[in-house]
Structure 1
Amino acid sequence: MAKYNVHAGHCPQGKGASGAVGFLKESVEDRIVKNEMIRLLKSEGHTAYDCTCDVATTQSGCLARIVTKCNSHSVDEDASVHLNSGREDEKGDGDTGGVEVLIYSWASASKETAERICEEVSKELGIRNRGVKVDSSLYVLRKTKAPAYLIECCFVDDKDDYEKWDAKRCAKAIVRGMLNKDIKGGS
């Protein structure tokens, strides 16, 4: 069985460097997704460590705490859960912002997993698959020891994404992509 680090990005909502807000609050929803991912991975017999920063701190302080927690475990992959922003679609335009997954480089060992996660979340929630993107500037992708990916589940400021959003279904889709199989879901 595999071992995973899973964390929600940012500090808790309203405490330090919390995430984006719109129709959804990133620092609330990413924790729901993260908790469900950990539960599902464990129900499938895998080890899953929670590396979330749950204290009020700065952005750099939060990132440093997450990476320290991640690097304290020997794992197969690091999964960072986020929600995107920047669509500013308050009325709904009939099109979703969608899901994307960021990796450190095209040669990353996590590239295939990232592709599967995009596909599964897009299919499960009925939102656009924005695909895998490379971003070597992101601290978590640069500094973690294990292959890592950063999942932008949907857009917090897109009414169309909001209307399709379901954190637990998203988590299940992510875990299907991670494990490359259908999952039972546990009790």
Structure 2
Amino acid sequence: TATGTVRTVGNPLNAHSGSSTSFPVVSSIKNGASVNIDCTTTGITITGKFGTSNIWDHVPGGYVTDTYVYTGTGRAAAFPCGGSRKPSTSGCQYIGICDKIIACVYGRGYSGFPSASVHWQSTPTRYKHVGDRNAPAGALVFFQGGKDDYIAISTGGLNLISTDIGGTGTLTRSTIGTIESKWGHCLR
């Protein structure tokens, strides 16, 4: 899942029973409301506050066009509806070696760093955004805690793909707050 904020010109955003305005309206969501996005799909192309897109978000209450939902990314913010919720981990083991996820995400077998701590220390200052918790999709997010610190990858906003947070050896969608509560302060 992911989170977003409805941003219209003031009117409520209609949620439909499918990914098109031709589907019946099943609910309305107030401008400024926070929404949980269960999954995304494609549908009719709509031009809205955040551009033109055929991405539709499934939220409790129906489908809404992504062009009126701020998610921090111009791409799908959640897994596809009806698709696999577990990304493939073939060829990569994530147990206790979170820095390896970064290498695998970018198509490499190793990151070149022995730990997230060394990775953070080796990152040039101009690429560090200390205190900025709104990481864009694809950004590395570092956490201070434990002997090796911790790293995850942002999917936009406060959402991340994280290792081990959902259980040893897992690859899980999570949030900055959840990881901070378990493993330490967000450095970003």
Structure having greater relative contact order (Cα 8 Å, sep ≥ 6): 1
Larger Rg over CA atoms: 2
- Same fold flag (TM > 0.5): no
Q: From the two aligned structures, give the one with the greater helix fraction.
A: 1
With normalisation by structure 2, the TM-score equals 0.29
Which structure has the highest strand share of the two?
2
Q: TM-score, normalised by structure 1?
A: 0.29
